[in-house]
Amino acid sequence: MPAQDSNSGDLIGNEEKVSSDFVKVMRYVKDELFLRVIDIYSKDGLDMGKYLYNDYMKNCKSLVTDLGAREELTPKWSGYMKYLWSQMVVKKSYRNWLCLKRSNAYQAVQDRFVRK
């Protein structure tokens, strides 16, 4: 887990905000990111600095923070975004969201073939 920035501590300690932001990121992963990584997902993509982490920092910033897409992250928000990421990786949430969506998509395709 990254060191807590003194400014992001109030965000990290707010369980309601953390839970709400988990849901926002989950919806993004299932509805948007899944379609782009369905064929290239690998576990090492969850490492900091890799594709999925960079995508999260870029595309989930406006979902989680009150910043616009083009605004730079302040130290407060940067620490919070890293904290959320580390929690999602430790709890395997991000991986599970991608896998669940993929499993559901493959099941739907399989069901279509069985019906025909």
Cβ neighbors of 83 (< 8 A, separation 6 or more) are 1, 2, 4, 8, 11, 12
Q: Domain residues of the chain, as ranges? A: 9-115
Question: What does the pLDDT look like over 74-106, one tens digit per residue?
Answer: 888 888 989 999 998 888 888 877 776 555 555
State the residue for tokens 């073939």.
Answer: 113
- The number of CA neighbours under 13 Å toward the Cβ of 13 is 7
Tens digits of residue pLDDT in 20-69: 999 999 888 877 776 666 545 567 777 888 888 888 888 888 888 877 66
Start-to-end C-alpha separation, the chain: 50
